[in-house]
Amino acid sequence: MVKGTDTKRILLAYLPFCTPASPPYSVTYLYSFLKANCDAQVRVLDLNLEFHKLKFPEYLEYYQDMTKWDDYDKKTTEYKELTKKTYSESNKKVVEGGKPELFEELLGMILDRKPDIVAFSIVYSSQAFYAYALLKELKSRGVKTVVGGPAVNEKLTKLASASLKNEIELLSYVTGKEAEHDRLKFDFPIDFTQHDLKGYFTPHPVIPIKTSTTCPYKGCAFCSHYGRMPYFEYHIETIKKNVMMSGQKHFFIIDDGMPPTRLLKIAEALAPLGVRWTCQLRPTKELDPALMKKLRESGLAMVLWGVESGSDRVLKMMNKGTNVKDIEKVLSASHAAGIKNITFIMFGFPTETREEAAETIEFLKKNSANIDLVSSSVFGLQKGTAIYNKPDQYGIIHITETQRTVLEPSISYEVEAGMTQKQADTFRDGHKKTLEKINRYPKTMNFFREHMLCSIDG
Ligand code: SF4
């Protein structure tokens, strides 16, 4: 514990815009880490939630009361349209040099807390606009600012007093002393008490938890989530303590994946606690009926599966480490165990032909009895991925970067074979009805997957 910083007031802020469905993990983790390792006065402020509470009170009331959900799909389509318009108009104002909607109100919430340092955790690029406007304002008022997180870009870095890579750098910045690694506490509980857990847009609080630092697989060619972070598993006892300490019943394990043996250990730890939980997994053959049954018995209610494609050639190109036959078996075992299955599907992976995309549609139809919700997307090229680093191996012949005011440059590309991005988009749109027919839950629950978790019985 670094002492002597108790007079410093640190505010960890989470920004608009993203879905206000659960308290943010990133700032809560940083809060807990700082509390365990120094005596500064640390506070957390979820400005994303505050924005949505002020702007959409009617929807807050609606989403907190499941008895009103007879028209869920209609209401959520309406909410989606409304938020899309609000976010885009607000972002446009920032791009044009103005201030986003409710700026004074949110700025006031920051200033009321009289912080010496305001740290912004930027998890999604959609948060960059609000960050940009607030950083400019706080700089002009002489308040120290820090940015960090996976969606921080060069423009935000230039505006902030410091851009930090991780919690250890943040601790050094706050205390003004180089952190001594071997004296740091990492086995601390994640403390959600700073949040108004009942204030989120869900009928029950849904608590995000992490059981490891990053993806254990790190293989998918289109993905850059894991960055350079080493895979490290948190102690099972600490995870269990976190769940118990929160006093809640619904949990979203937000890890990018978990090896099956580890999954079993987590299930064994959660089983006696009577909680309902969800997680994201790659459908590999180790997830057999016996394991799925044990997972269900521990409270695993739904899984978000990285299925991606119904074509073995495309899965191989993606280096997904799965195949269609095993995926079918896993979905079937999961369904038979009573777990709800959400399948992530990606159209337009470079070299994917129309025929191969049609194979994916056939795959979904064939396995529809074991699928509860389809979540489809169209491939987008991102920096830091295997495809971006070796485009010629994936039939990409030309990459163009277009500069933007707040965000990183947008990336477009041309392909040598298979569908273009636009063709993939058109393909997906053309099969929208077929995809929707497969869903057993409202398609708009893709927007609020926490709602699906809350509405699963038993
Ligand atoms: S897509 Fe998921 S499983 Fe694949 S590398 Fe990325 S995080 Fe890991």
Instruction: Name the residue with the closest Cα to ligand 1, atom 4.
Output: 220
How many angstroms separate the CA atoms of 267 and 252, rounded?
Answer: 13
Distance from Cα 152 to the centre of ligand 1, integer Å: 20
Using a 6 Å cutoff on CB, does residue 223 contact ligand 1? yes
Is-contact 186 171, C-beta < 8 A?
no
Report d(CA 402, CA 408) in Å as an integer.
9
Stretch 55-62: mean pLDDT, rounded?
A: 98
Q: What is the mean pLDDT of residues 433-445?
A: 97
Is the separation of the CB atoms in 156 and 128 below 8 Å? yes
Whether 4 shows a pLDDT value over 70: the answer reads: no
Q: Is 315 in the pocket of ligand 1 (CB under 6 A)?
A: no
Rounded mean pLDDT of 41-63? 98
* Pocket flag, ligand 1, residue 348 (CB < 6 Å): no
More confident residue, 52 or 407: 52
pLDDT recorded at residue 378: 97
CB of 48 closer than 8 Å to CB of 195: no
* For range 342-370, the mean pLDDT: 98
Range from 109-113, 153-157, 405-409, 435-439 carrying the lowest mean pLDDT: 405-409
The C-alpha atoms of residue 126 and residue 129 are separated, in whole angstroms, by 7
Please report the DSSP string for 90-155 in residue order.
HHHHHHTT---TTHHHHHHHHHHT--SEEEEE--SGGGHHHHHHHHHHHHHTT-EEEEESTT--HH
Least confident stretch, 225-229, 234-238, 352-356: 225-229
167 lines ligand 1 (CB under 6 A): no
Question: How far apart are the CA of 5 and the centre of ligand 1, in A?
Answer: 39
User: To 5 degrees, how large is the angle CA 193–CA 25–CA 453?
Assistant: 90
d(C-alpha 225, C-alpha 220), whole Å = 10
pLDDT at residue 428, rounded to an integer:
98
What's residue 230's pLDDT? 87
Of the candidates 321, 298, 71, 54, the one whose C-alpha atom is nearest the C-alpha of residue 199 is: 54
Q: Which two tokens stand for residue 235?
A: 């102690």
**pLDDT over 70 (residue 239):** yes
433 burial via Cβ count (<10 Å: 0-12, 13-18, 19+): exposed
Q: What would the pLDDT profile of 68-86 be if each residue is shown by its tens digit?
A: 999 999 999 999 999 999 9
State yes or no: pLDDT of 37 exceeds 90.
yes
Q: What is the pLDDT of residue 240?
A: 95
Segment 337-353 shows an average pLDDT of 98
User: How much of the chain, in percent, has pLDDT values that exceed 90?
Assistant: 91
For ligand 1, atom 6, the nearest C-alpha belongs to 223
282 CA closest ligand 1 atom index: 3
Nearest to 454 by CA among 250, 200, 192: 250
User: Residues 6 or more apart from 51 whose CB is under 8 A from it?
Assistant: 16, 17, 101, 102, 106
The confidence band for 238, taking pLDDT boundaries of 50, 70 and 90, is: very high
Percentage of the chain lying above the pLDDT 70 cut = 99
- Ligand 1 centroid–CA 279 distance in Å is 13
The structure's pTM equals 0.95
SS3 240: helix
Mean pLDDT of the chain: 95
What atom in ligand 1 is closest to the CA of residue 223? 6
Question: In 3D, which of 166, 162, 227 has the Cα closest to residue 34?
Answer: 166
Domain with CATH 3.20.20.70 in the chain: 204-455
Q: Output the CA 220–ligand 1 centroid distance in Å.
A: 6
225 alpha carbon – ligand 1 mean position (Å): 7
Which amino acid residue places its CA nearest to atom 7 of ligand 1?
Answer: 256
Please state, in angstroms and rounded to a whole number, the distance separating the CA atoms of residues 354 and 174. 54
Tokens, residue 316: 């191989």
Question: Which among 223, 224, 284, 309 is the best mutation to test ligand 1's pocket, defined by most ligand atoms within 8 Å of the CB?
Answer: 223
CA 215 – ligand 1 centroid, Å: 6
Give the C-alpha separation, 219 to 251, whole Å. 26
Residue count of the chain, please give it.
Answer: 458
- Taking residues 230-258, what's their average pLDDT? 94
> Is the CB of 40 inside a 6 Å radius of any atom of ligand 1?
no
Confidence of residue 24 (pLDDT cuts 50, 70, 90): very high
Burial of 368: CB neighbours in 10 Å, binned 0-12, 13-18, 19+? middle
Structural tokens at position 155: 């423009």
- How far apart CA 24 and CA 183 sit, in angstroms, is 27
Q: What is the pLDDT of residue 6?
A: 64
Q: Per-residue pLDDT for 7 more than 90? A: no
Ligand 1 contacts CB of residue 257 (under 6 A): yes
Residues 420 and 308: beta-carbon distance below 8 Å: no
Question: In the predicted model, is pLDDT for residue 52 greater than 90?
Answer: yes
Please identify, by atom number, the ligand 1 atom nearest to the C-alpha of residue 215.
8
- For CATH 3.40.50.280, the residue range(s) in the chain are 9-178
CA–CA separation, 367 and 102 (whole Å): 46
Residue 47, phi then psi, degrees to nearest 5: -70, -25
CATH homologous superfamily of 9-178: Cobalamin-binding domain (3.40.50.280)
CA 229–ligand 1 middle distance (angstroms): 13
pLDDT value, residue 407: 87
C-beta 215 within 6 A of ligand 1:
yes
DSSP states along 440-452: SS-GGGGT-HHHH
Compute, in angstroms, the gap from residue 163 CA to the centroid of ligand 1. 26
219 CA from centroid of ligand 1 (Å): 7
Buried/exposed code over 56-70 (b: 16+ C-beta within 10 A; e: otherwise): beebbebbeeeeebe
Which residues are paired to 209 by β-bridges? Answer: 253
Q: Are 452 and 250 in contact (CB under 8 A)?
A: no
CATH superfamily membership of 204-455 = Aldolase class I (3.20.20.70)
Residue 305's pLDDT is: 98
**189 has a pLDDT exceeding 90:** no
Cβ(225) – ligand 1 distance below 6 Å: yes
Task: Please answer whether residues 66 and 203 qualify as being in contact, where contact means their C-beta atoms are separated by less than 8 angstroms.
Answer: yes
Instruction: Provide the pLDDT for residue 5.
Output: 66
